[in-house]
Amino acid sequence: MASPRIACLLLPLFPLAARLRSEPELIREALVVVEGNGNAARVVAATRLARAASVRPGLTLTQARALCPKLVARPRDGECERTAQEALLEVAESFSPRVEDAGEGIVYLDVDGIERHYPGSTPELDLGRALMNAADAASLPARAGIASSKLAARVAAGLPEPPVIVPAGEEAAFLAPLPLQRLAPEVDVADTLERWGVRSVGDFARLPPSRVASRLGRLGRELHATARGLDPRPLMPREPPPVFHEGMSLEWPLVALEPFLFVGRAALDRLCQRLESRGFACIRLVLELRLEPDGHQSRSVDLPAPTRDVKTLLTLIRLELEARPPGAPVAGFAFLAYPDRPREAQLSMHGPAALSPDKLATTLARLFALLGPDRVGSPRPVNGHRPERFSLVDFSPPPPPEVRREPRAGRGLLSVRVLRPPLEIEVLTAAGNGDAETPVEIRQPATEEAAKRTSVEGQVKVASGPWGLEEEWWADDPTGRDYWDVEIAGRGLYRIYRERATGTWYADGIYD
Amino acid sequence: MAEPLMRRILEEPGEGSAALRLVRSSLPEALRSHVQSARALDREIKDAAGEGAFPTAVPAIDRLLDGGLPRGQLVELVGSRTSGRFSTLLAVLAAATSVGEAAALVDLGDGLDPDAALGAGVDLERFLWARPARLKEALAATEMLIAGGFPLVALDLGNPPVRGGRGVEAAWLRLARAARAHDSVLLVGSPYRVSGTAAGVVLKAGRVRAAWRGGAGSPWLLAGGASQIVLEKCRGRLHGQAEDLTLATAAVPRPEAPPALPGPKPQTRPREEERPAAVTPFLRRAAAG
């Protein structure tokens, strides 16, 4: 059986790289990432500028500041690291569907057969370069290594001048000249072996396996196997998460909206880039806020159609926060984007142009934010006869016809402009020819509410009615109305009705 | 001399910028700033040839404006209550959706009855209805819809008192610029002039003279009405031209000409056999039920 080919993407100085991804403006500063609080804070990683001033991991922050007065320090941020790791995984998933999350800036991916997409003389090398370029585009300066085992691939990725390719079956030979720290830098047993005089991986591999096992136990036996290029651990592919996550802890808690939106915009930018790289758009955006001194809040914004327009998403967040302020300083935040496939449209050669699905989604989202979801949509009549009723459905127009049609001849109908809600009026009636009283004059009650509405009053010139409307006679609250079309001298044509139950008159439409 | 060069710009897109520079260099200094882009030149040529019209299927408007509403302009339709303004807006929306285009109505007056829209021929699937509460929201929503690529956006301000007043002229100019940039038709229906100098075309609808049928022992029925649409402003056209606008109610045959107004005493109750001839769609359905 042919051995698998595994690539490793390794992000050196992971806490620092994750922080710089969230705050790229710090890249030219002497920056250190520290872990711990107060005097116990110790440097975990430092930029090149800081290292040039002799700042090294393990120093306390006070010592580091003494060496480099202009030092910028940031605490280690789990939120930043989590999103950076997600972004690294997504870079790997854009190459292979089988990706393992090894944590702390390490990702393995199955690249068996993928090199065939690179027809040059060194396909695996080209693949490694493509992996590194893709990571660079996601603001992650990752290194790549390709080998037949996870261990060899990781060691190869850690070497200078990446990408490093280890040919299949040559893992032991590749590892032999390397120092033992490369094999398992985190394992203390490497120090013990150095005291024994064993300095390289090859020296260690030459020791008898049984004696290593009897002196160093199970850990030593496994390390010895890896030194001989044997790594039986299979790739453990991960299940892609259902949401995209992006966030960070803030250096200072924020109390005002504008600074928060400034920081949030950068996070949304990164989030939308990640969605775009996977061909997704956001259908639901959740904002999780970590508040000072303690407490959490979560806000959810449902979108009418998938979008990845940062401006729109930011506007929606702004409106949400303006409507319901958090009530405490914000110490950290995370955006969770629920992905969905963006709508697609086929352009028409001869017919009218279709609306761009992206633009439409953005427009609808902004209209929802401006007016509210119950005030935007495509109207539909509802069952029943009361004219003030209607329903709204999501606007999702069908594709336009393939060939432009001539406009249908107009019907030339006199339509009614509905007065919503109906306007209460006083109507003077006189006996008609039948048993119904005919309106002869309309007056408007002198209320404050009526003064804000369209005035409907005057002498009735012509009245046509009554036209009966009965609805839901079987219900507890049935509708019974007598409608009239009236022309008021010099004021226009109106539709008025009288509630049979109460005898109250209303104007509910203007012929216009 | 300029027109062949403009043609060259459009026919040779690869050399467009070079040809555009040539056009601009050949123009007098005062005119250079007016020629901004090949797209602007294209629009000028289309406008001159009358190719940019958006047919409305309202004969009065199509005749007044030589084929329809000009694309890329703010068209203001002014009319007091019962002027046929709202019916005309619905007819224009119906024409747009009947050719397969999407259309939007920003309805500040909140006066749309979906039944009436359906009756006027609006394809509701291609029709977006926005119901702002204030003029400021209405203007913002209109701008969003134009930027969203809607080829026709109608903004109806309802009847006085308009919620939010007239708005500032800068907002209308901004909308007119947006319509021009996206080549959309922006149709503003208002009870009085609001858009000032931003409007490229202004039409005014007169009060509808109601047409009644019946009397003399039979019931009165509203049959429709007639009005006039007057062209008040349009570049390159004679102002004051007028066309008749005839409107009928849904169930009564269209009157050929508005009859003389009857006396003020409609007294008879409709006979039973005439009850189905209701004047609005919902009453017609009620009668049928």
Asked if A413 lies within 8 A of B87 by C-beta distance, the reply is yes
Q: Does B63 touch chain A (CB under 8 A)?
A: no
Supply the pLDDT for residue B288: 37
The reported pLDDT for the residue numbered A487 is: 92
Q: What's the confidence (pLDDT) of residue B49?
A: 55
**CB pair distance less than 8 Å for B264 and A387:** no
Taking residues B172-179, report their average pLDDT: 94
Name the residue with higher pLDDT: A225 or A145. A145
Residue B164 has pLDDT above 50, yes or no: yes
Task: Output the six-digit token pair for A224.
Answer: 């010895």
Average per-residue pLDDT in chain B?
78
Selection from B231, B209, B25, B47 nearest residue A461 by Cα: B209
Considering the domain architecture, whether residues B57 and B24 belong to the same structural domain is answered as no
Higher pLDDT, A501 or B279: A501
What are the structural domains of chain A?
6-166 (3.40.1170.60), 170-240 (1.10.150.20), 244-340 (3.30.1490.100), 416-511 (no CATH)
pLDDT of B273: 40
- Strand, coil or helix: B189: strand
Within 10 angstroms of residue A211's Cβ, the number of other Cβ atoms is 11
DSSP secondary structure string for all residues of A137-168: HTT---EEEEESSHHHHHHHHHSSSS-EE--T
Q: In chain A, positions 149-188, which contact chain B (CB-CB < 8 Å)?
A: none
Nearest to A370 among B90, B115, B137 (CB): B137
Q: What is the pLDDT of residues A275-328, one digit of tens each?
A: 988 888 999 999 999 998 888 999 998 887 888 889 889 988 988 888 888 889
Looking at beta carbons, which residues of chain A come within 8 Å of B98?
405, 407-408
Residue A11 predicted with pLDDT over 90: yes
Q: CA-CA distance, A133 to A295, in Å (whole number)? A: 40
**Confidence grade of residue B270 (pLDDT, cut at 50, 70, 90):** very low
Residues of chain B with C-beta less than 8 angstroms from the C-beta of A433: 267-269
Question: The domain spanning residue B108 has which CATH number?
Answer: 3.40.50.300
Give the model confidence (pLDDT) of B202-237 as tens digits: 999 998 888 888 776 667 888 888 889 999 998 777
Give CA–CA dist A442/A439, Å, rounded: 7
Same domain, B73 and B111: yes
Q: List chain A residues with CB under 8 Å of B283.
A: 385, 467, 469, 483
Contacts of A307 (CB under 8 A, 6+ apart): A281, A282, A313, A342, A358, A361, A362, A365
Please list every residue in chain B whose beta carbon sits closer than 8 Å to the beta carbon of residue A468: 286
Distance of CA A289 to the CA centre of its chain: 15
Question: Do B39 and B137 lie in a common domain?
Answer: no
Contacts with A, B 86-115, CB within 8 Å:
86-87, 90-91, 94-96, 98-102, 109-115
Inter-chain residue contact A435 with B269, CB threshold 8 Å: yes
A343 to chain B nearest CA, in Å? 15
Same domain for B39 and B97, yes or no, is no
The span from the CA of A273 to the CA of A457, in Å, is 60
| In chain B, % of residues over pLDDT 90 | 36
Q: Say whether pLDDT at B265 is over 70.
A: no
Query: Do B137 and A420 lie within an 8 Å CB cutoff?
Result: no
Sole residue written with tokens 């950290």: A332
Distance from CA of B22 to the nearest CA of A (A): 32
| Strand blocks (E) in A222-311 | 244-254, 281-291, 296-307
Name the DSSP letter for residue A69. Answer: T
- The residues pairing with A285 across neighbouring beta strands, listed in sequence order, are A301, A337
Q: Answer yes or no: do B165 and B221 share one domain.
A: yes
Nearest to A415 among B59, B87, B246 (CB): B87
- Burial classification of residue A393, based on how many CB atoms lie within 10 Å of its CB (0-12 exposed, 13-18 middle, 19 or more buried): exposed
- Supply the ipTM of this predicted assembly: 0.74
B75 plus B41 within the same structural domain: no
Interface A–B counts its CB contacts (< 8 A) at: 264
Label residues B155-185 b or e (16+ Cβ within 10 Å = b).
Answer: bbbbbeebbbebbeeebbeebbebbbebbbb
What residue of A is the nearest CA neighbor of B220?
A: A464
Chain B contact present for A432, CB below 8 A: yes
Cβ-Cβ contacts under 8 Å for B25 (sequence gap 6 or more)? none
Q: Which of residues 29-58 of B touch A (CB under 8 A)?
A: 55-58
Question: Distance (Å) from the C-alpha of residue B26 to the closest C-alpha of chain A?
Answer: 36
Q: Residue B125: list chain A partners with CB under 8 A.
A: 378, 397-398
**Distance of residue B113 Cα from the nearest chain A Cα, in angstroms:** 6
Q: Which chain A residues are closer than 8 Å to B114 by Cβ?
A: 379-381, 390-391
Strand B218-234 with B201-205, pairing = antiparallel
Is residue A81 packed enough to be buried (19+ CB in 10 Å), middle (13-18) or exposed (0-12)? Answer: buried
Is the CB of residue B272 less than 8 Å away from at least one CB of chain A?
no
The answer on B167 and B138 residing in a single domain is yes
Average pLDDT for residues B48-75, to the nearest whole number?
A: 83
| Chain A residues touching B105 at Cβ < 8 A | none
Contact call for A380 and B124, based on CB within 8 A: yes
Structure token digits, residue A191: 């120090």
pLDDT band at B46 (very low <50, low <70, confident <90, very high): low
Q: Are the beta carbons of B148 and A454 separated by less than 8 Å?
A: no
Check residue A479 and give its pLDDT: 86
Residues paired with residue A437 on neighbouring β-strands, in sequence order: A431
- Same domain flag for B143 and B40: no
**Which tokens in the block code for residue A403?**
């060939």
* Contact criterion met (CB below 8 Å) for A505 and B76: no
Stretch A168-187: mean pLDDT, rounded? 77
- Lowest average pLDDT, out of A228-237, B37-46, B125-134, goes to B37-46
Residue with tokens 């393992």: A100
B248 interfaces chain A, CB cutoff of 8 Å: yes
B17 has pLDDT over 70: no
Q: Which residue has the higher pLDDT, B141 or B48?
A: B141
Q: Give the pLDDT confidence score for residue B44 in this predicted structure.
A: 63
Is B213 in the same domain as B237? yes
Residue predicted with more confidence, A442 or B273: A442
- As a whole number, the mean pLDDT across chain A is 87
- The number of domains in chain B is 2
* Range of the structural domain that residue B189 is part of: 53-289
Of A379, A418, A460, the CB nearest to B129: A379
Q: Which residue of B has its CA nearest to A409?
A: B57
Q: Tell me: cis bond preceding B151? Omega within 30 of 0 counts.
A: no
Looking at the fold, whether B45 and B95 belong to one and the same domain comes out as no
Which pLDDT score, from 0 to 100, does residue A271 have? 92
Q: Is the pLDDT reported for residue B257 higher than 60?
A: no
Pair B66, B164 in one domain: yes
Contact across the interface for A367 and B141, Cβ inside 8 Å: yes
Contact A469 B286 (CB under 8 A): yes
CA distances, B44 to each of A269, B18, B48, B72 (Å): 39, 19, 6, 11
The pLDDT of A240-254, averaged and rounded, is: 87
pLDDT digits (tens, 9 = 90+) for A20-63: 998 888 888 899 999 888 778 899 999 989 999 999 888 999 89
At A454-493, the pLDDT tens digits run 888 899 988 887 888 888 888 888 888 999 999 998 888 9
CA distance A157 to A142: 9
Burial B131-144 (b: 16+ CB within 10 A, else e): bbeebbbbbbbbbb
For B251, which DSSP code?
S
Chain A residues 250-279 with a CB less than 8 Å from chain B: none
* pLDDT above 70 (res A501): yes
Closest approach of A299 to chain B, Cα-based (Å): 24
Residues B62 and B120 in one domain: yes
- Taking CA–CA distances from B131, the nearest residue in chain A reads A375
Asked if the Cβ–Cβ distance from A512 to B220 is below 8 Å, we say: no
**Considering only CB atoms, which chain A residues are within 8 Å of B151?**
352-353
Residues 190-209 of B with CB under 8 A from A: 207-208
Q: Which two tokens stand for residue A234?
A: 């299979």
List the 359-418 stretch of A: residues with Cβ below 8 A of B: 359-360, 362-363, 366-367, 370-371, 375-381, 385-388, 390-392, 395, 397-398, 400-401, 404-418
Average pLDDT, integer, range B82-100 = 92
Overall average pLDDT of the B240-246 stretch: 88
> Which one has a higher pLDDT value, B199 or A431?
B199
Task: Give the whole-angstrom CA distance, residue B205 versus residue B86.
Answer: 10
Residues from chain A that touch B269, judged by Cβ atoms under 8 A, are 432-436, 466
Tell me which residue in B100, B145, B262 faces A462 most closely, judged by beta carbons. B262
Residues of B in contact with A419 (CB under 8 A): 111
Residue B47 binned pLDDT confidence (cut-offs 50, 70, 90): low
The torsion angles phi and psi of A43, rounded to 5 degrees, stand at: -70, 130
Q: Given this model, what pLDDT does residue B15 score?
A: 46
Residue A432 has φ and ψ, to the nearest 5°, of -95, -170
Task: Report the gap between the CA of B245 and the closest CA in chain A (Å).
Answer: 8
